[in-house]
Structures are given as structure tokens and as C-alpha cells.
Structure 1
Amino acid sequence: MEARAIAKHIRISPRKVKIVIDLIRGKNLGEALNILSLTPKAASEPVAKLLRSAAANAENNYDMNVDSLYVAEIQANQGPTLKRFRARAQGRGTQILKRTSHISVVLKERE
């Protein structure tokens, strides 16, 4: 049995999120949450929130034991990019890309 959670349109670049999720892939749920609480990256807060949501889904929807859960799969894909312009010299403008992420996690029970 597996429990899933997906967070869409997170306003952090997927490249920055992947640095954080690589730290917790394959770890137990409690250990992953501890790692995220001590990680000084902006992406650690939404990833921790997503892990807690997946754990709640596992407990309430599938009657899984929260103490035996581990991060089976976690990935960060690119979401829609917001295109903005910033003023530059001599009346020109330069495009600024504000990237977003879709983060998905799958928790499974250890045998």
C-alpha cells in the first residue's frame, strides 16, 4: 500500500527543490522530517509540509502505521513559468523567469 501527496505551483525553482529532496529520498518519515527541520533551505518548509500531508493521508485513508512509513519516491518537476520584465539601461527591458515546481511524494510501509 502507498500514500501519495502532490504540491503544485510552489514558487521555488525545481533545481533548488531537488537539492533538498535528494537528502530525504529513501529515509524513514521521522528521520526525513528531522533532516528537513535542520536544513537551511527555503524549499525545506514546503517539502516538510508535503511529507506531513502524505503521512496524514496514509494514516486516515489507508490505515497505515505512521511509525513504519518511509519515503519511497519523491520528485520535483517543473511547473508553469511566470514571465516578468525588469527595467534595464537605455529604456530597455529584460525578461525575468520566475519558475515554479510540482512536488510529489509517495510513502510506503516498511515490511
Structure 2
Amino acid sequence: MEARAIARYVRVSPRKARVVVDLVRGKSVVQAREILAFTNRGIAECVEKTLNSAVANAENLHHVRPESLVVKEAYVDEGPTLKRIRPRAKGSASRIRKRSSHITIVVGTREEA
């Protein structure tokens, strides 16, 4: 049983988002929520919202209790990049790349082997 949630077009670079997502991969949902609550990064709030959405999807679609869920997959893909121009010295210009991300979190029941 798996449930997923995807946050698309989040305005943060994928490199910065991956630092936070790597903290919760493989953890239980309760433990992941605690980690995200005390992570001092701006993107942690968006990752927590995505995690809560995936848990809600599992509860509503598969009737599973959140305490029994674990973060099976968590990854960040690169979204579209907004390209802007900034004036520089001697009449030249440099390109500013405003990156975006797609955050995907998959939760599932713990497999006892």
C-alpha cells in the first residue's frame, strides 16, 4: 500500500530542497514530522505540507493509521527555470536563474520481514 503527494513548481532550488528531503527519507511519519518541525530551513515547511498531504491520502484512500506509515520515497526533481537579466558593469548583462522544484513524497506501511 502506497500513497503519494507531489508539490509542483516550488520556488526553491532543487539543491537546497534535497538537503531537507534527505533528512526524512526512510523514517517513520511521526519521526519525520518531528525532524521537519525543528529543521531550520525555509523549505522544511513545504516538505512538511507535502508529507502531511501524502499521509492524508493514505488515510482517506486506504484507511491506514498514520502511526503505521513510513516514508518510502522522497525525492526532488528540477522544475522550470525562470530566466531574468541583471545589468552589470560597462553596459553588459548577466543572467539570473530562478530555479524551481517538484517535491515528491511516497508513504507506505512498514514491511515486517
What band does the TM-score fall into relative to the shorter chain?
over 0.9
Does 2:56 correspond to 1:30? no
- Report the AA paired with residue 2 of structure 1: E
1:88 is matched with 88
Q: Displacement of 1:41 after TM fit?
A: 0.7
Structure 2 residues without counterparts, runs of 5 or longer = none
- Report the AA paired with residue 19 of structure 1: V
Q: Displacement of 1:110 after TM fit?
A: 1.6
Structure 1 residues without counterparts, runs of 5 or longer = none
2:98 is matched with 98
Q: Which runs of 4+ in 1 moved over 3 A?
A: none
Percent identity reads: 50
Between the aligned partners of 1:19 and 1:55, the Cα distance in structure 2 is: 21
Between the aligned partners of 1:56 and 1:74, the Cα distance in structure 2 is: 16
Between the aligned partners of 2:33 and 2:65, the Cα distance in structure 1 is: 16
Aligned residues: 111
1:47 is matched with 47
Range moving further from structure 2, 88-97 or 11-20: 88-97
Report the TM-score, using the length of structure 1 for normalisation. Answer: 0.96
SS at match of 1:59: helix
2:67 is matched with 67
- Report the AA paired with residue 109 of structure 2: E
1:108 is matched with 108
Question: What is the RMSD of the two structures over their aligned residues, measured on CA atoms?
Answer: 0.8
CA contact (8 A) 1:65 1:109 kept: no
